[in-house]
């Protein structure tokens, strides 16, 4: 299955975009920025086709802390899996310095990037799209994850861009839930089972 990864700085609406695409509230959306830290996986169905989508934590381009380093590592692990990258920016706030840093980071990946200008709920916010033209991305999509607008064109172009699915036998996937109180070792157990740093372990 092809994979799309959503990246961007904190508080641009990545998790809201993810939930809109999956039609489920899998990723936590909260008023404070920086809630999403681990990779969150979901599936998107559109026009009879399905692809995987990964939500990531916000980039910390100006922070040099242990937690910021762990979140950046999670983002890079997701980007390695990506067949296509959704780079989300805030159309309401306009371009910020962190957006340029992320843009330069993504160019090094040598992968196709769709620029999603989120929060274009009103016409005046949509005018900010032109600010982001300096990034030079061919595909730019004004969207509003809250209102659900702009996603039809985005998904159509996504299916045109992703590798065509191969016909093959479908395998049933079993899902296991790890549940417990805070600091009981859930993420450490997950990482052991997955044999990778699937969840951030931090104080």
Other C-beta atoms lying within 10 Å of the C-beta of residue 53: 23
The pLDDT, as a whole number, for residue 124 is 57
Helix/strand/coil for 104: helix
What pLDDT score was predicted for residue 84?
97
The pLDDT of residue 145 is 92
Identify the sign of the CA torsion 176, 182, 185, 191.
positive
Please identify which residue in the block is written with the tokens 């016409």: 123
Supply 29's token pair: 């959306």
pLDDT value, residue 70:
78
What is the distance between the alpha carbons of residues 132 and 96, in angstroms, rounded to a whole number? 10
Rounded to 10 deg, the angle between the 151-161 and 14-22 helix axes is 80
The parts of the chain modelled with pLDDT lower than 50 are none
pLDDT at 58: 78
Residue for token pair 């992968």: 111
CA torsion sign for 151, 157, 163, 164 is: positive
Output the pTM of the full model: 0.82
The predicted structure's pLDDT at residue 123: 61
- For residue 45, what is the enclosing H or E element? strand 40-46
Residues 8 and 102: beta-carbon distance below 8 Å:
yes
Query: Tokens for 193?
Result: 């089972």
Opening angle at CA 11, ends 23 and 119, nearest 5: 65
Residue 89: partners with Cβ closer than 8 Å, 6 or more residues away: 8, 9, 12, 95, 99, 115, 116, 117, 118, 132
DSSP 93: T
The predicted structure's pLDDT at residue 152: 95
| The pLDDT of residue 166 | 75
- pLDDT tens-digit series, residues 22-78: 988 766 655 555 555 667 889 999 999 999 999 998 776 666 677 667 777 888 889
Contact, 4 vs 82, CB < 8 A? yes
């Amino acid at each position: 299955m092809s994979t799309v990864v959503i990246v961007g700085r904190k508080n641009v609406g990545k998790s809201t975009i993810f939930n809109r695409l999956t039609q489920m509230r899998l990723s936590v959306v909260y008023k404070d920025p920086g809630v999403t830290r681990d990779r969150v996986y979901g599936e998107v169905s559109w026009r009879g086709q399905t692809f995987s989508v990964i939500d990531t934590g916000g980039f910390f381009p100006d922070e040099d802390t242990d937690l910021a380093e762990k979140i950046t590592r999670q983002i890079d692990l997701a980007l390695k899996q990506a067949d296509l990258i959704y780079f989300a920016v805030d159309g309401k706030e306009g371009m910020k310095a962190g957006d340029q840093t992320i843009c330069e980071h993504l160019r090094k990946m040598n992968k196709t990037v769709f620029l999603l200008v989120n929060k274009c709920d009103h016409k005046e916010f949509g005018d900010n799209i032109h600010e982001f033209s300096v990034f030079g991305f061919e595909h730019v999509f004004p969207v509003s994850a809250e209102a659900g607008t702009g996603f039809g064109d985005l998904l159509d172009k996504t299916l045109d861009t992703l590798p065509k699915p191969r016909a093959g036998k479908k395998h049933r996937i079993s899902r296991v839930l790890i549940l417990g109180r805070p600091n009981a070792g859930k993420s450490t157990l997950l990482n052991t089972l997955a044999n990778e740093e699937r969840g951030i372990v931090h104080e």
